[in-house]
Structure 1
C-alpha cells in the first residue's frame, strides 16, 4: 500500500447520483459519505456544489468542517464551476455560485476549487479566456485555495496541452490543471506528455480506469463505464511515474463513475476505490 494520501472525489462516494441529470445531488448524507471515505483510508474528500448546498443547510459550514475534521479528511476539494467565461444571466448565476464556493473554501480550508470548460464545445479566444480565468484564480488565492480547470475531451478545452496554454496565459500562480487520467487517455495523451507539465501548474490529479473501447458517447462512457484502478486498459503505472516526475506527490484523487459503482453500498464503493488505487501507488 501507499504512504501517499488519497482524496475521494465527489462521485466516488455519491451513491446513486451521476453528472448530467436534472438533480445531481447524492441521496446520502454527508456524514455517511465522510465516514465511509475515512473508514476506507481516504484523507481527502470532494464535494459537488449541489451537495455543498444541502450539507450547509443540514449542518452549517462549521458543522461540515467538523464532520471532515472528525473523520481525518484534511484535503477538501469543491466543484464544479461553469459559465465563468460567459456573459449575461449565465455569468450572473456563475458568479453567485463562485461566491458561495469561495465562502465555503475559506471556512472548510479547501485546497482547491474545480472549474470546467464549455461542454458545448464553443469557440474560445485564448486572451479573453485567460483574463476570465485569472480573475477567479485570484479570488481563490484570496481565501487560501487554488483554482483548477478540468479539461474534457468532448469540450472546447480538450487536452492537457490546451489546458496548460490557458493557465499559463492567465499567469496567476493559484491557477492550474486538474488532470483526470480518463480524460488524458481518451484524448490520446502519452505519459511522456504529462511528464512535461510544470509541477507548479498541477492542482489535482484523478485516478481511474476504463476499457479500451469507448461505448456510446465519450460522456456516456465516462459516466457509466469507468473501471476501478488497475481493472481496465490504462497504463496507470506509466502515468503515475510521469506525474511523480513533475514533483506531484498527492493527494491523489480517485474518481470512479459507473453504473456498477453507484449500485454498491457507499462503504463498499469507497473501500474498493481506495484499495485499488493504493495498490497501484504503493
Structure 2
C-alpha cells in the first residue's frame, strides 16, 4: 500500500485468501491489529481496496476456510472478492455454480460482494458459462470481473462485451499481452508471469475499453517477471501506472 500511495495509485487489490494450498497465508488472516493498521494507512493516504483475491472453486471447496479472509477483507472496506474456477476437466459447470452461489451468500453476510473471473484455460472459461456462474449468485449481489488478457484468450468480441449487463461489472483488469498461444503451458505462463505493459502488446485494448463502461475502476494486473531483474517494486509499479494512464489518456482524447 505504501508503494501504491507513493507512486500515485488510487486503489489497490490485495491477495488475502490463499489460492492454492501451497500459498503462504496472508499476515492479515486473524490479525486484527494489522488489519486496523492497514485501515489507518488507507484512510491516511486516500487509497481504497477495490478487490481481494482469490477464491479457487474446486470440488473440495470448503467455505469454512473463508471466514478469516472475509473478516480481513471487510476490515479494509467493501472490496469485491474474486473467485476463479479450477482447471478445465477438474470440476463441472453445475458444481462451480453450486459452490459459487454458497460463496456469494457467505460474502453477502459479511457485507461483501463476490465476482467471478472467467479464464479460458480453466473450467467455466467462456463468457456464456461465466454468466451462468454469476447468475447462481445473483441473489447475493454477485458480479463478473473481466481481464483484458482473458477476454482475448476467450475470443470475446467488443460487440459481445458491449452487450453484457453493465450492472454486473464492478472492476476491470487492465494489461497487455503477447499474441495468444495454442499450448496450455504458454497460455498459463503468459497469464501468470509474462504479460506486457498497456500499449506494448498485441491485445486490441482500445476496442475492449470502448466497449466497457468508462466509470469502473481499472485494476492494473500485469505480472511481468522479467521486470523483476534489476528493477525494484517501486519502479515496476511506476512504469505500469504510467503506461496505463497514457493508454487511457489516448483513448479519452480519441473519444473527445
Instruction: Give the corresponding residue for 2:46.
Output: 72
Instruction: Give the corresponding residue for 1:261.
Output: 227
CA contact (8 A) 1:159 1:184 kept: no
Structure 2 unaligned spans of 5+: 19-23, 250-256
TM-score by length of 2: 0.84
CA contact (8 A) 2:61 2:99 kept: no
CA contact (8 A) 1:76 1:108 kept: no
Shift of 1:160: 2.4
Report the number of matched residues. Answer: 239
1:135-175 per-residue CA deviation (whole Å, 9 max, x = no partner) reads 22122223332101111111111122221121124432511
* Deviation larger for 49-58 or 269-278: 49-58
CA contact (8 A) 1:140 1:174 kept: no
Query: Given the alignment, which residue of 271, 275, 279 partners 2:238?
Result: 271
Instruction: Give the corresponding residue for 1:62.
Output: 36
Q: Following the alignment from structure 1 to structure 2, what is the Cα–Cα distance between the partners of residues 122 and 203?
A: 28
CA contact (8 A) 2:148 2:173 kept: yes
Q: Measured at CA, do residues 55 and 44 of structure 1 come closer, stay the same or move farther in structure 2, by a change above 3 Å?
A: same
Shift of 1:269: 0.9
SS in 2 for 1:53: coil
Q: Following the alignment from structure 1 to structure 2, what is the Cα–Cα distance between the partners of residues 123 and 59?
A: 38
Structure 1 residues 140-155: aligned runs within 5 Å: 140-155=107-122
Q: Following the alignment from structure 2 to structure 1, what is the Cα–Cα distance between the partners of residues 78 and 233?
A: 23
Q: Following the alignment from structure 1 to structure 2, what is the Cα–Cα distance between the partners of residues 116 and 231?
A: 27
Structure 1 unaligned spans of 5+: 1-33
Shift of 1:198: 0.5
Q: Measured at CA, do residues 47 and 184 of structure 1 come closer, stay the same or move farther in structure 2, by a change above 3 Å?
A: same
Q: Following the alignment from structure 2 to structure 1, what is the Cα–Cα distance between the partners of residues 89 and 122?
A: 5
Structure 1 residue runs of 4 or more that deviate by more than 6 Å after TM superposition: none
Q: Aligned-residue CA RMSD in angstroms?
A: 2.2
Shift of 1:58: 9.8
Q: Measured at CA, do residues 55 and 107 of structure 1 come closer, stay the same or move farther in structure 2, by a change above 3 Å?
A: closer
Q: Following the alignment from structure 1 to structure 2, what is the Cα–Cα distance between the partners of residues 101 and 58?
A: 11
Q: Following the alignment from structure 1 to structure 2, what is the Cα–Cα distance between the partners of residues 55 and 262?
A: 25
1:56-85 per-residue CA deviation (whole Å, 9 max, x = no partner) reads 5595211121222222211332111123x5
SS in 2 for 1:168: helix
Q: Measured at CA, do residues 205 and 272 of structure 1 come closer, stay the same or move farther in structure 2, by a change above 3 Å?
A: same
TM-score by length of 1: 0.77
Instruction: Give the corresponding residue for 1:101.
Output: 69
Q: Following the alignment from structure 2 to structure 1, what is the Cα–Cα distance between the partners of residues 236 and 49?
A: 20
